[in-house]
Structure 1
């Protein structure tokens, strides 16, 4: 029940709405339908499956030896079917690592890893000695990185 008191609208606390909200009481029972019966899913193979299989079979038939003489050649070292497959199917290009910060050398990376290990040890043990060791390594790594960065900047600036 709503009472109008001046410019405010006051709602009585005994007024009850359903958990679905204010408008839920307008929904009639006949409007709610039961879930349709569930049917089992049927398997339908994709049309590309046979084409892919034919392509795979065709590719392997090119690799497999057909005559006895060819089989004899394949039995020699370096001439087996596995070697042919390896040469044909494995990529030859090596992946390169990112070099986002060229001034960070191997020595600096080693120092960073050492600092990270000291951090893990510090967190595990909660010891003051480990904490001071970590802080020392952190300062050293930061100092080395800054030195290397400015050396790199000076060197690259003088090249241009």
Structure 2
């Protein structure tokens, strides 16, 4: 992950980073498969034409995505998939969407860090490499994340990696 560059409004949070770029930008076959699947999905007469995916506020929010995926402009599709945060492609699934506030404030960043940390800690507890948390015991903190990842790596026998492949994507650092 690269360093975040949000100007004066950027607030650092330990354990949090923002990705600089996408290694998937040139995957032509993947782009073709995505475009083909999308076009078939919107042409299929299943479901209601008034579905939130085909009409209404959510569709309007994602209209630019629809237009790019139904266009015959491979460069527009490439740009969309290389930097989904410049559109609302991932709106509702990820924090990396054009309609969401940027840069994230300290509370939002901390929420992401702690959410990711909690999921890792739950995994570590489930497989026995971390103590199960109770209200009576002190808690590990995200600053101890590297040690937790090393214990998980050892338990699984391989290194866990959490790539953030898209520009502006936020997550554990």
User: Which TM-score tier does this pair reach, normalised by the shorter chain?
Assistant: under 0.3
Q: Whose radius of gyration is greater, 1 or 2?
A: 1
Structure with the larger helix share:
1
Higher relative contact order (CA 8 A, sep 6+): 2
TM-score normalized by structure 1? 0.20
TM-score normalized by structure 2? 0.19
